[in-house]
Amino acid sequence: LPAWGTNDGHRNGQGHGTQMGGLAVFGDLVDPLLATSPVVATHWLESGKILNDADPQPRDEWGNIVRDTVAAVEQAAPMRKRVFAQQITARNTCLDGRPTAWSAATDQLCAARGEDPVVPRLIFVSAGNNPCALESDYPAINRGWSVQDPAQAWNVVTVG
């Protein structure tokens, strides 16, 4: 939504996705900052804001927001090859694999079902965070903790 602005408002404006985007585009900046030659970008980075803490949308709308965001990005340059990444998950949503509107919308985007022409998409989704308070609890805590919505989607690549 245009009214949301373009800032990365996660955690009171401290950013998260913006920092991850910079890493994706430039990687480790030590060598480029020490070099005197120009930094040559080898790929594009496009961004779409799907959630906004200042204007929370009902959870059952998140799937539609993702669909609309993907459509807006693709309409800007329809022939560009893309890989999508969602680094955001719903808090406190350990659903043991049960589908939600958000995971179903993400699955449909990957499968491109009903689209003409069929435009399959590769979407990487964050697995989310577990409540691991002590380092000694890791990795055993992973056995009893489910991924967070929408990482349970079947057609995505879940990373975490």
> pLDDT tens, 56-109?
788 888 899 999 999 998 998 888 888 888 888 887 676 677 889 999 999 999
pLDDT value for 57: 83
pLDDT of residue 109: 92
Task: Read off the pTM.
Answer: 0.79
More confident residue, 28 or 54: 28
Answer whether 105's CB lies under 8 Å from 63's CB.
Answer: yes
